[in-house]
A and B are shown apart, each in its own frame.
Chain A
Amino acid sequence: MIGWIDTIIQGLLLGGLYALFAAGLSLTFGIMRLINIGHGDLIVLAGYLGIVATDALGLNPFWSLVFVVPAMAVLGYGLQRVVLNRTLGTDILPPLLVTFGLSIILQNLLMQLFSADSRGLNAGPFETASIALPGGLAVGVFPVLIFVTAIAVIGGLQLVFSRTSLGRAFRAASDDRVTAELMGIDNRHIYGLAMAIALAIVGIAGVYLAIRTSIDPTVGPSRLLYAFEAVIIGGLGSLWGTLAGGMILGLAQSIGFRLDPGWGILTGHMAFLAVLVFRPNGLFPKTRDR
């Protein structure tokens, strides 16, 4: 019994990591129907930026967030304005192809710059610090931090969406881009801001990933897959849904892993498939396509 409680706790914490990976994707997917195939590689890029910043500063890796997050945001705005805006339209294929190319370019660029070595960030004893729970259980402080960050990021995004004029512009551009433009909203700028916020979150995810495990230039696509599944499970346009999607994915993997180590990844995909079969729009869809 206590073993199952442990499995569920660890699964939820893992879900926090997936939700953090997925938050940026959920945002761009929800607002501009842009499926960013390069999302995972951008997470890895952020991880490497974190490594560079930490090496240069010689401080605790968490300080690198101060540089990585703004840098990724600027990159996001530029990427959207210069490249991705030109691909948006009624056809869903051009952004897919362009971001697929972006993914390949990023992988090879990182390979050239940082070599194929596995690298990581070292946060010292913090990485293995844990909180003792009753029943001999222990949860790591860092996984809890990831979980809390994921909730904070998604809660913050939700506030921006529902309370600010920027959020209103986001929602308007998402619901009906033509009418939004008629109302004086500059979609290109709004999309740029959305991508900037998305990549700022990717910045956090990348630094966390480099602390949690090690990265090399080729691990991006596997990150994209889980992020994408979390978004789809949660439902298009719903940020809390993405958090729930991450949790469901993490739990499913964790439970599968406990039943048999070979099933962990499979049960995650099965949960995703089950949602697609019974709720094709995800669990909590907010936007609908016309």
Chain B
Amino acid sequence: MAESSSKGRLSGMIAGTIDRRTTLKLMGGVAAGAAASMFPAPFVRASKPIKIGYVSPATGPLAVFGEPDPFTIEQLNKFLSGGLKIGDASYPVEIVYKDSQSNSNRAAEVANELILNDEVDIVIAGSTPATTNPVADQCELNGMPCITNDTPWQPHFFGRGGKPDQGFEWTYHFFWGLEDIIGSYTNLWKSIATNKVLGALWPNDSDGNAWGDGKIGFPPVLEKEGFKLVDLGRYQTPSDDFSSYISEFKKEGVEIVTGVVPPPDFANFWSQAGQQGLKPKIVTVAKASEFPAAIEAFGERGEGLTVEVWWSPNHPFASGLTGQSSAELAKAYTAATGRPWTMPVGFKHSLFEVAIDALKRAGGPGNPEAIRDAIRDTDYASIVGPINFRKGPVPNIAKTPLVSGQWQRGSNGLDLVIVENSQAPMVPVGGELKPLA
């Protein structure tokens, strides 16, 4: 009996407190509202920040693509420390950075957090379908303007169930496509004399299956161009032993090796090839030879490897935001981090450039429809090339230039020299393809 009465008193007290607090809060709110309305409008608008939500794989197996994020964000924060001027107003810019943990479910989850909790004005994301597809899907569902890059456009557009006659409403993407890499590679392989026998290392993953696909991949184009393809099938990655590939390649007299191979697999393949006497003239593998640190690990045997190049310090483009040229951005990255440039450095920067350009043309934050329309009308010169979502192969997609390069011995170590530009003649060639010794 006593217990229940004390409980009753307690709950009464709590209720009382809440009532008083709520009342105070309400009164405060009214007072603040009254105060705000007394100030001139521009001051209030200036205090509302632009929020850019950014999803990227900072940890996990894809983290190598997210490496430039801290540098990119710090550089932008410094550049925008005085606020972003749009019209007469100046907006502070806040970048909300979320780690996808290299996991597509997590990417969707943090995209939702950005939209619903952080209430950002625009979402940007990059690096492989595991990041761009779930983030774009969430944005499309929630009516949030979204810009993504660094996934070949077919896996992004068709991977999300895109229909070429409809497209998407809220989500836009820029990168190259399979047709570019097939075109660039085959042209590269034709540029020196070989027996045109080509061995393929395609793993059983989304990239390997797309590249080796009998309809949209390399095989039909290679056949048309007169190459003989030695394809043993899709292997399971990671793999420690490639001797069956090597003995087959030797038997067929393979002079060109290609594939889309994770770095540890390629390191295994390449040293076993050396041990077992497979000596191709050209080795063009994506993924494994895209990053300078991975190439360094090969020592002498990294020299002469070829790979597709989506951005380099030699690309003749400059940032429309900071005015830095490609070479200057790469230099700033090396100065800030002590590490060599990588291709994602340019693409990370370009995401922010394109987003800020759209925000400017939309007249600032607050109106998602205006931002969406501004993105759709983008016609912008970015550090990775011109971006125009109306001129793409399908709606919502803009294509960026793709060329091929070779790791050649320069004055200070190995440099990625551009040796093939049939798909993007605006990027100058820096040298000729040299056959592997």
A211 to B63 Cα, complex, angstroms: 22
Mark interface residues in B223-265 (1 if CB within 8 Å of A CB, else 0). Answer: 0000000001111101111011101000000000000000111
Cβ-defined contact, B241 with A257, below 8 A: yes
Cα distance A129–B236 in the bound complex, in angstroms: 27
- Do residues B294 and A140 form an inter-chain contact, with CB atoms below 8 A? no
**Among the listed A115, A128, A260, which residue makes an inter-chain contact with B271, where contact means beta carbons less than 8 Å apart?**
A128
Given contacts A111-B63, A118-B64, A130-B276, contact A213 B241 (CB under 8 A): no
Considering only residues 272-316 of chain B, those with a C-beta below 8 Å from chain A are: 272, 274-277, 291, 293-294, 296-301
Q: Which of B244, B264, B291, B299 contacts A213 (CB 8 A)?
A: B264
Q: How far is the CA of A128 from the CA of B339 in the complex (A)?
A: 28
B244 touching A129, Cβ below 8 Å: no
CB within 8 Å for A257 and B239 given contacts A117-B291, A212-B271: yes
Residue of A nearest to B234 (CB): A262
CB-CB under 8 A for A215 and B301, given A119-B293, A254-B244: no
Q: Does A24 contact B (CB under 8 A)?
A: no
Among A119, A212, A214, A265, find the residue whose CB has the most chain B CB atoms closer than 10 A: A214
Q: Are B263 and A115 within 8 A (Cβ)? A: no
Given contacts A6-B247, A128-B271, A254-B243, contact A262 B204 (CB under 8 A): yes
Chain A residues lying within 8 Å of B301, measured Cβ to Cβ, are: 127-128
**Binary interface encoding of chain A residues 79-119 relative to chain B, with 1 for a CB under 8 A from any of its CBs, else 0:** 00000000000000000000000000000100100011111
By a CB distance below 8 angstroms, the chain A residues around B275 are 128-130, 138-143
In the complex, whether B66 has a CB less than 8 A from a CB of chain A is yes
Of B64, B240, B241, B272, the residue contacting A216 (CB under 8 A) is B64
A122 engages B277 (CB within 8 Å): no
Q: Which of B63, B66, B243, B247 has the most CB atoms of chain A within a 10 A radius of its CB?
A: B243
A250 to B243, CA, bound (A): 12
Decide if A10 is an interface residue (CB 8 Å cutoff).
Answer: yes
Asked whether B236 lies within 8 Å of A264 as measured between CB atoms, the reply is yes
B340 nearest in chain A by CB position: A117
Contacts known (A127-B274, A215-B264); A11 close to B64, Cβ less than 8 A: no
Q: Is B268 an interface residue (CB 8 A)?
A: yes
Known: A122-B299, A124-B299, A212-B268. A6 touches B243 (CB 8 A): yes
State whether the Cβ of A17 lies closer than 8 Å to any Cβ in chain B: yes
B137 at the interface (CB under 8 A from A): no
User: Which of chain B's residues have a CB closer than 8 A to the CB of A138?
Assistant: 275-277
Residues of A within 8 A of B297 (CB): 118-122, 214
Indicate which residue in B241, B268, B274, B277 contacts A254 across the interface (CB closer than 8 Å).
B241
* A262 neighbours in B (Cβ, 8 Å): 204, 233-236
List the A side residues contacting B418 at CB < 8 Å.
none
Pair B264/A219 contact, Cβ less than 8 Å: yes
Is the pair B272, A253 in contact by a Cβ cutoff of 8 Å? no
Q: Using Cβ atoms and an 8 Å threshold, which residues of chain B touch A129?
A: 275
- Decide yes or no whether A168 CB sits under 8 A from chain B: no
| CB atoms of A257 and B244 under 8 A apart | yes
Residue from A6, A119, A129, A257 whose CB has the most chain B CB atoms within 10 Å: A257
- CB-nearest residue of chain B relative to A123? B299
| Docked CA distance A218–B300 (Å) | 26
B147 within 8 A of A: no
B136 interface residue, CB < 8 Å from A?
Answer: no
| Closest B residue, CB atoms, query A217 | B63
Check if B267 is an interface residue, CB within 8 A of chain A. Answer: yes
User: In whole angstroms, what is the CA distance A142 to B234 when docked?
Assistant: 27
Provide the residues of chain A in CB contact with B64, threshold 8 Å. Answer: 115-118, 216
- A130–B274 Cα gap in the complex (Å)? 8
B220 within 8 A of A: no
Do residues A117 and B294 form an inter-chain contact, with CB atoms below 8 A?
yes
The interface residues of chain B lying within 8 Å CB-to-CB of A266 are: 236
| A116, B63: Cβ atoms closer than 8 Å | yes
Q: Which residues of chain A are near B299, meaning CB under 8 Å? A: 122, 124, 127
Q: Is the CB of A261 within 8 A of B245?
A: yes
Q: Which residue of B lies closest to A11 (CB)?
A: B241
How does the 8 Å CB contact mask read for B115-140 relative to A, with 1 for contact and 0 for none?
00000000000000000000000000
Are A128 and B240 in contact, CB atoms less than 8 angstroms apart?
Answer: no
A43 within 8 A of B: no
Per-residue contact bits, chain A 241-270, to B (CB 8 Å; 1 contact, 0 not):
000000000100110011011111110000
A37 in contact (CB, < 8 A): no
Tell me the complex Cα distance, A70–B81, Å.
49
Partner of B241, one of A10, A111, A222: A10
Does A287 lie at the interface of the complex (its beta carbon under 8 Å from any beta carbon of B)?
no
Separation of A219 and B294 alpha carbons in the complex (Å): 14
How far apart sit A140 and B362, CA to CA, in the bound complex (Å)?
A: 62
- In the complex, the answer to whether A140 meets B276 with C-beta atoms within 8 Å is yes
**Nearest chain A residue, comparing its CB with the CB of B60:** A218
A14 CA to B238 CA in the complex, in Å? 14
CA distance A18 to B294 in the complex (A): 24
Distance in angstroms between the alpha carbons of A3 and B250 in the assembled complex:
11
Interface residues of A in 205-227 (CB under 8 A from B): 212-219, 222
How distant is the Cα of A261 from the Cα of B235 in the complex, in angstroms?
A: 4
Query: A7 in the interface, Cβ–Cβ < 8 Å?
Result: yes
- Pairs A–B under 8 Å by Cβ, sample size 6: A108-B59, A119-B293, A122-B299, A130-B277, A138-B275, A216-B263
Closest 10 CB pairs of A and B: A128-B274, A120-B297, A140-B275, A116-B63, A122-B299, A261-B235, A117-B293, A118-B263, A10-B243, A213-B267
